[in-house]
Amino acid sequence: MDLNPFLDQFEIISIGACKELQLGENLKSMWNEWKGITLTVTLWKDSPLKILSELDEVQALLDDHLTKTITMRGSAFVKPFESEVKSWYVV
Whole-structure pTM over 0.85, yes or no? no
Burial per residue of 53-90, b for 16 or more beta-carbon CB atoms within 10 angstroms, e otherwise: eeeeeeeeeeeebeebbeebeeeebbeebeebbeebee
Return d(Cα 72, Cα 20) in angstroms, integer: 10
Q: Torsion over CA of 57, 62, 68 and 74, rounded to 10 degrees?
A: -170
Read off the pLDDT of residues 44-72 as tens digits, 9 standing for 90 and up. Answer: 999 999 999 989 999 999 999 999 999 99
